[in-house]
Structure 1
């Protein structure tokens, strides 16, 4: 066998050798264990004593948790799709998205639940079994604890996978997914508490109405809170990773984290202190901040496309890429179209097209790092990426101009195909003097 020939291992062997498979498995097991521990803590009855009288606060029932999850998942799904869509150029794979979401949903909430309760006890907050529900911990301790827990997964990615975090859109996407996971579990806890309290307290009124009011407040009107705060830390981390200055590499992530904490602190403080009838003005101010962040990220998205085109143009000049590659890879509309066309050609073509776009984008970001002076000795990596593009080109859809989807290939047992085949005219050999329908290129000598 020639030395250049490679043996392609079976899919299960490649899966076992992939470290992300084990990371995802570990995150699943860890998430299940931590969420079950939270359930046991919140489900257990708690003995309390007030004014010398002892009593028992019933734990949250599984019925309340089930109802709360039913109301909480739409918010998490919508925001998750938004942040996944934001990561359009150097798209991360599903394992990183899942890890960020699971970290926020299980690890961050579990640590925050323990630390916030402990901090509330240290602050001697009165008010029953859940001392973390007071205004003091919500303003002074919870923002630091929760933002630290949510952002930790970003810094772990930056430490162990620095070469993959090269775009602000990536860090904001991962930060948003971690925040959405945190908000998802937190909303379940809040909705379940409201439902459970309304069911055991006659004065609370209709349990369904109480939960729906809370869903409108937390799941709709203020659902941008956690993603907004943690995105600030993601922006600071991206600035630090792409800077040559050692001082900026330290100060930018710290500044982003402090911005997240201060924003979270202001949000909790206003919600806890300001009367409900006066919150509308602050809500519109918060919407203005969210709109500013959205505009900023859209501008960054357009600039990322321009950067990809400019950096890939360097390889066109060197003769390593085709002239149309920068135009296709640097345009979101063209990337989307060739992906749709590749889908109609089958799984192999679709997968090769995605790999081609991801590899070309990685090559552009690698070139950008070289021009910024944040990476050196990249020749071997550049050659490997160019060779990878050359191998994918015959299989992938790499040109958007003139690309059209093809009709699906139906199996032989499909009724419509059998009927269509029965109506096709029979083949008849060409008569004398007639020209063949297809002309074949003669073989090379």
Structure 2
């Protein structure tokens, strides 16, 4: 059995020799998980009872069946954005559950209380409803959704490394929130149609479905993604930039509230106010944010190609792997090859895990080179290298195949039967000899120093 290369050696960092403090009972992982699951379960039961009481059992079931349509598409879209360094599914499940249960419960209770209080204080229910929709609801709902992003940012810091992670967590949280809200709106619309006897394409249910599910399924995710971008930029900032790490998420939250308020207030801009805001503001903002996230993803791939060659030089990776791991097309080819020739789905899963761990290693090294190494840098680096070594037997041949399949084809001239121009004048063509590809020899890289300022 082959032995692994030596682990990188560094100057003594903050992770060396640090005394371990005994954790109190409330700091233990199982206590936190238990409390979180209990909170989400209670919130889910309460929100279920509230929505069912307002819509009725039949309306709740109709709303549930219609509201589920955009959920798989939105979750798949956010998961696609996260393919460079996919986060664990438990974070996405928590984000969706928080949005659908805890955030929705907070929003329903707080919005109802605030609207009733304003109506009582002003004796004007109409103005109270308008103020509640354009001011109270954006503040309450965006704050409740932002709480999920904050929790992942604080307690799952390893999984929250940049803008894409913030966008994904925020987007999935908002998708869960919109799912519950759509059940409420669609179920209520169905009850209205039942009382009035309307049905078909002219019904309130059909109109509500068209506006909320067909035209604007991305509305809530778009708002909350601004908060996620703020947290993502804060994650890219050094630990010493305390003010920036606080102000950036707050700025993103304020922008999310402002966009949400404009969206909710579009109906007060006239008969075509909704369509005007949708066409002139929502669609361009959605396109701009989509471009930003895709550009950020490509930037992450460039980081992978730039940072991993140091480990190839040290013997942990083959010379071609940094280039393969920096291409989503090559990664997919490696997984497909593993599934077909190296052991089916388990082999493909091992290659996917290898790709994910290698990407995390590249980002870890990049943070260190920027002076943003955390106190657990050395421990985390060895953990990732160990995980790569465990999967090397399957990953190496699959990635080697992907390297051969995606390498540029060299332009080798075809030998001619008659003398070529330049023959006899110091030029001798070397037809048919192998062309050195980009993976033949690794380029030299500077010495590895994670604490370089």
Q: Compute the TM-score of the two structures, normalised by the length of structure 2.
A: 0.75
The 5-angstrom pairing of residues 63-82 of structure 1 reads 63-82=58-77
What is aligned with 2:46?
Answer: 37
Q: Does 1:247 align with 2:243?
A: yes
Change in 2 beyond 3 A, CA 1:144/1:138: same
CA distance in structure 2 between the partners assigned to 1:284 and 1:22 by the alignment:
48
Change in 2 beyond 3 A, CA 1:398/1:383: farther
What is aligned with 2:89?
Answer: 94
The 5-angstrom pairing of residues 8-87 of structure 1 reads 30-44=39-53, 59-87=54-82
Q: Does 1:211 align with 2:205?
A: yes
The 5-angstrom pairing of residues 287-436 of structure 1 reads 287-344=283-340, 345-376=343-374, 378-396=377-395, 399-402=398-401
What is aligned with 1:103?
Answer: 98
What is aligned with 2:12?
Answer: none
CA distance in structure 2 between the partners assigned to 1:127 and 1:177 by the alignment:
37
Change in 2 beyond 3 A, CA 1:41/1:127: farther
Deviations 1:281-338 (A, max 9, x none): 2211210111111111111111110011111122223443221121111111111221
Determine which structure has greater relative contact order: mean sequence separation of CA pairs < 8 Å that are 6+ residues apart, divided by chain length.
2
Shift of 1:41: 2.9
Unaligned segments of structure 1, at least 5 residues: 1-18, 45-58, 405-445
Worse-superposed segment, 59-68 or 177-186:
59-68
SS at match of 2:119: coil
Q: Does 1:256 align with 2:265?
A: no
RMSD of aligned alpha carbons: 2.8
What is aligned with 1:220?
Answer: 214
Deviations 1:368-400 (A, max 9, x none): 110121115523432332232122101335544
Q: Is the 8 A contact 1:90 1:362 kept in 2?
A: yes
Change in 2 beyond 3 A, CA 1:126/1:221: farther
Deviations 1:243-297 (A, max 9, x none): 12222112111111111111111111123x1223343222112101111111111
What is aligned with 2:275?
Answer: 280
CA distance in structure 2 between the partners assigned to 1:125 and 1:232 by the alignment:
34
What is aligned with 2:443?
Answer: none
Change in 2 beyond 3 A, CA 1:68/1:28: farther
Shift of 1:27: 6.0
Worse-superposed segment, 360-369 or 33-42:
33-42
CA distance in structure 2 between the partners assigned to 1:225 and 1:363 by the alignment:
35
Q: Is the 8 A contact 2:146 2:224 kept in 1?
A: yes
Q: Compute the TM-score of the two structures, normalised by the length of structure 1.
A: 0.76
CA distance in structure 1 between the partners assigned to 2:327 and 2:298 by the alignment:
9
